[in-house]
Chains A and B, each alone.
Chain A
């Protein structure tokens, strides 16, 4: 239990310099005890205040070092209080630490602290908060330095990083304020470059990302979140619509090779960053298309395939080879890859449908689809798949929604979605549920399938039982319970279960390489490092974290590329400062939903135009049309640029 000496985080002052028994956990603060193998974390200083865990940390020296780094490494210089104010603060603290301080200097610090509230963004503005806290609560330490009674000894080392609530929440940790600001400045190419530093498939993540970042957007605390995802699309579309050549060039060739299994978001991302480092990367893809789940699990009306292919082609242009129609476990074994390549990344996704566990499921009836993901894949790849006239899809997630909407486009006269809870509890994105509704999908809530009804080996209906919502479960949603005796039959000629999917890890059975799996049928990889229990084999994406989001797969692919690069070049895996601080911030949490942002709201976010429901349900043309660039600039102008800097002192 790490004891807290002093904390001003979370609007609370905890001061145990004179003794006390409050530890980190009781303050609901998650911070690792040690930083990499560089030592114990003695203090944290950042946007929200000051946290001292080791009495040996000199707070005056900590504050001086922090503001120095803010000014010299991070201050964008684009506003006067920030640029000049932090410089004067840096100099004032430098004098104090050097023993040339005066008592009036503390007044200057306080005056500047007030003035920096009028900064353009929160970077310098928030950086004064811990400085002011230190002056207020460690005044004696300051005075001791000023009077020459003690010297402010610096800590053994400090580590810092820039973050922002959105950037922290994004699993790929894209520098969102940077790319938004470039759009505000009409600099789309620069915006895209900022995105590509963390995410190489912007045409995809500009369209189908569930954008967790937007739920950590401070603008939402005054009106509505910034349309972060769509702005990414604007930057990406700008390059495409102006037929520009992407500026990336592969790094100097290294004499090491990497095999990436799966050309999905995780695999493509891992390949991209390794290619930028100069590795020769070969991707083994089971299908005939790049994109993995994005290609065959997300219909074209949400994610046009030609743009997904363009993102993949850009990665190929860096020298990455994609071998299509090559399935791991069938056409090539993991062992072979391990032998033939210096490093292996497994990003095979989660393409196996979960069974519903109802009667008739395994009977092989005509009209019964193995699963939503299988149905979508068959349609996407143009395989012969007969869509019924009256289609029932079971499930409440995005895949289920995609299935009912694709069924309509494939000629179904009626497309019905069955969900055991209510619309409110559906895990699918609300706007997608609305879209399906507009297109004419029929919803049946509070029902659950119990039996497939067939005649002569053909599906003719689905037996359903009515459900009642009971007490909330772990997820906070009310648990549905069957209402015995309420069974009825819904006539239909096709049933598609879309209740979930999992990785197909059959390839691990061939030869024991030591890769471990979890009880959820995912691959075990070392947290943060992403190497499996087999040396040199890394894993990421849905096969490692379970069926999640595109952006989570991208984040995993990028992290694996970084750690694999170190493993390949130095023979060891470790996290660098960027990784470690990223993870540290994630644990500590950057977004504060209770913050009072003292500015005026009332500016609504910009929306993309959309093709209307009736028009669109007949084809696979993209539904969401591009936001105009002038709209995008207006939207970007709403961004509060919530940058902030955090730093740890090592003792």
Chain B
């Protein structure tokens, strides 16, 4: 700590803090314009000048560190003159087009004029008339309004890590541009637009649509991915006009991604379902729900609960998912419930529950930024969890963390890595085991943690000692030197964040791979302390909440084993719960076998999202009753007997649980569109029809979740509108080292991997005009080597066929793929790549032929 005096006030502040920070602490306001807390100080505008005793020239408060004994004056005639003249200069040739400028009303330059008393213009120069840049997707650049504060450039580089923007040219001609002058091609997160203090960078979709002061701001949570950033819906006339987030007060520090910032136009997409239908005819809600309830009742009466099944969705809130499982288990007597988590997150959960007693991430994502080393394993973090990407960027860029990226294809983070382990697809266990062994060999394991917490340390040593490193080298295709370098980076760090994702979690044999990572987490000491942690990613918004609510046959809400913990639930619910229960695969087989006759789909689309989607498509045709509760018109709704239009996250209230166990509140910003209803409303109505005595309400369910299931009982309400669950702290000798071994690799000439891309979120954003502007349709990405070998050119249509089926897709050339590996996003109906995937896999051998 050091002491200084500002305007006569004695202030104590930590070493390294700036004059501005010290003034802020003392409640002294120094005007600023280019200052933005989350980026390094720029000192461009010079408005924050202050006088420092002993200096002949004024100093800028934003980037001058406080020094012991400093005496600072923030207000004087000289300073007022400098500030006024600086703003006057900023206004030289600044177009006074405020009436049509999007920033008007929230423009920092306007504010500065008022604050610094700028009412005249003594300076003039010929206007160079810089042209507006219209060619960028989603974002427009109006250089004449730019004050060169560099906030956009720095947010893009320092916070997002996209580094797409630069200051180009000199003097008055200087403007914000892309590196090569080509149209912007970036992550389209919109954080540059948000950071812009004037109307220089503007959102094309929002442009000229509303005045900021006419918008009502509704704080809520973004429901496009599991990060669950805090947002404000900007609402006018029952419509979400824009989504923003506030710096400093939100967990995401005001940062959003394309899904949050631009993707919200999916809310008002023309493809939204507006009224219930039965057999394709629009009907009243009463009629539709009568149809559903009576058909289900008839079926369960005649054939028992086992004849019906339901698949829920991570799009649904915690309360909705809780109600979903209760509806099936209690009102319909069926435990045939599951979700797409079966193909990914549930595998992580069940493995980590067994080895580490974990139900997901071990720490908050902010802990990643504090880690000394980060290992990314089998994940495109930027696509799957953008807010996690920002934390990794923060760790590496600002906090000196080392980054190891182990992925079979290059991702954005690969470029920032100290070590890139481009392993051969399928060799994850061999790689993780080799890292464990090498860390141990180098004497860099977190031995005290292992000694204290590992229940089978002998097994750990003997299993790793027997590991054949030569085999690991040949299986992974990596050199021993590369493996050792990575092991050192991870081993030498006193805290490690281990982040893994879909390429691994959704692959064949994922359980063994996750177990190997659980071992690695233990050996690197990732499982304790404020810094680092183990972070499984899932791309969907409320997967954690869905699993917490027990929407899978093996567990009741709160992870109570279905087989052994039914009694208290039966007592509370006053039913006897059905035996058994089928998972998604069982349900599919049941439908095919004709034993399951009715299927209820709540916010999920197996035709696009599930592996074997083609098999699902033909199975669904066999059903006596297919109920689809969803937002958008699709081939799936067209197959359904009853369609129930649900409402989006902007139209409902409830809670979501983020991938790092924060419970966030959704606040309805607008009324349900058309005749749609929230999933809760629909499920509660149906539940009431099936069990007339007990129509559920939100409040009573929340109480039940807490008291009966122990769910979120340990949460504390935080001031930021989130409830924080207690973080993981294992008991002594409770963690299991799971000896897993690499299975034999099947070598295929050509394999297809499916997964998420940055610009789309599930199928929802395929209804967003903005997201489609950037990435309009499905395609299969091919490495340049393969393209050359097979004579493929971009946009050419090809047929891909696997053991499961065949699809046609246009080709894209992508240099981040290794030879022999194709990649296709799994968001698009048009290129239903999941139809090629076998059960439980995201990677399959394919043949490619030109058509």
Contacts and interface: CB of A to CB of B under 8 A. Distances in A.
B419 interface: yes
Contact of B55 (A83, A598, A603, A629): A598
A588 interface: no
Contact of A118 (B40, B82, B157): B82
B27 to A, nearest CB: 23
Q: Which of A186, A187, A634 has the most CB of B within 10 A?
A: A186
Interface string A90-121: 11000000000000000010011001011110
B69 to A, nearest CB: 9
A250 to B, nearest CB: 21
A243 B479 CA distance: 15
Contacts of B172: 71, 77, 83-84, 87
B46 A599 contact: no
Interface residues of B, number: 56
A28 interface: no
A86 B40 contact: no
Given A83-B171, A84-B90, A186-B397, A108 B67 contact: no
Interface stretch (B119-127, B597-605, B716-724, B797-805): B119-127
Interface in B46-103: 46, 49, 52, 54-60, 63-65, 67-68, 70, 82, 85-86, 89-90, 92
A629 B418 CA distance: 13
Contact of A120 (B46, B154, B167): B46
A516 interface: no
A242 interface: yes
A88 B124 contact: yes
A187 B157 contact: yes
B44 interface: yes
Given A88-B124, A184-B40, A630-B400, A76 B85 contact: no
Contact of B40 (A90, A185, A241, A242): A185
A78 interface: yes
B63 A637 contact: yes
B107 interface: no
Interface in B380-402: 397-400
A22 interface: no
B174 interface: yes
Contacts of B122: 108
A46 interface: no
Nearest to B126: A91
A558 to B, nearest CB: 25
A218 to B, nearest CB: 13
A553 B673 CA distance: 74
Nearest to B91: A84
Contact of B167 (A71, A74, A77, A186): A77
Contacts of B57: 117-118, 598-599
A79 interface: yes
A30 interface: no
Interface in A583-598: 596, 598
A83 B49 contact: no
B65 A603 contact: yes
Given A77-B148, A603-B67, A90 B89 contact: no
Interface in B778-818: none
A78 B44 contact: yes
Contact of B92 (A72, A84, A596, A599): A84
B45 interface: yes
Given A71-B171, A90-B125, A81 B40 contact: no
Interface string A387-408: 0000000000000000000000
Given A88-B124, A115-B86, A184-B40, A83 B58 contact: no
How many chain A residues sit at the interface, stated as a range, is: 35 or more
A472 interface: no
B123 A185 contact: no
B170 interface: yes
Contacts of A598: 55-57
A324 to B, nearest CB: 25
B420 A85 contact: no
A87 B125 contact: yes
B43 interface: yes
Contacts of A88: 89, 92, 123-125
A600 interface: yes
Contacts of A2: none
Interface string A517-555: 000000000000000000000000000000000000000
B736 interface: no
B44 A79 contact: yes
A80 B171 contact: no
B207 to A, nearest CB: 26
Contacts of A73: 170-171
Q: Which of A83, A86, A115, A119 has the most CB of B within 10 A?
A: A83
9 contacts: A79-B44, A81-B86, A81-B89, A84-B123, A111-B85, A117-B58, A119-B46, A187-B157, A637-B40
Interface of B: 16, 40, 42-46, 49, 52, 54-60, 63-65, 67-68, 70, 82, 85-86, 89-90, 92, 122-126, 147-148, 150, 154, 157-158, 163, 167, 169-174, 397-400, 416-420
Interface of A: 71-81, 83-88, 90-91, 108, 111-112, 115, 117-120, 184-187, 241-243, 596, 598-600, 602-603, 628-630, 633-634, 637
Given A79-B44, A79-B46, A600-B55, 7 more contacts: A75-B171, A77-B174, A83-B171, A84-B123, A87-B125, A115-B86, A120-B43
